[in-house]
Amino acid sequence: MNNNLGYTFLEMLVVLSLLSAMVLVTNVTFHQAAYKKETEHFFEQLETDIRYAQMRAMIGGFRTDILFEPDQNSYRIRQRTTVIKRAELPDHLQMVRGTFYNEPMSFLANGGVARIGRLVFADEEHEYTLTVLLGKGRFYIEKT
């Protein structure tokens, strides 16, 4: 008697191959979405930190610096000699060039910037430029 109740080895291989391909595609898509979300969150936090440093300078009446440290892939907010906050960039994001590369971005007691400039961040696909404008400390971050 011939018993045909089970699956053949070849049928099982085909099903497992299809399942592993689906998992692989889903996993790659998930990592790309996670990197994108992490980058968006970093720049939102950077904007918040820049505004915080500006407000701290205005309220405290003292110059407040944001020190970008490319070799440590981080930045610090400092008022006088006291470090107020330190934040790290995501692993996939790097500081590559600009006026504030290893130089402080400083807010004066009136909320204005000590000097204008740029800082360029890059990941594997895009560059993001932080631009600080002349005047009352306005800035924007642009994806290129």
**Tens digits of residue pLDDT in 73-108:** 999 999 988 999 999 999 999 999 999 998 899 999
d(CA 98, CA 117): 7
Query: Which DSSP symbol is given to 85?
Result: E
The structure's pTM equals 0.79
Q: Look at the domain 9-143 and name its fold.
A: minor pseudopilin epsh fold (3.55.40)
**Pick from 108, 113, 134: which is nearest to 56 by CA?**
108
* C-alpha distance from residue 107 to each of 38, 45, 81, 121 (Å): 27, 18, 15, 21
Q: How many CB atoms lie within 10 A of CB 70?
A: 18
Share of the chain above pLDDT 70, in %: 92
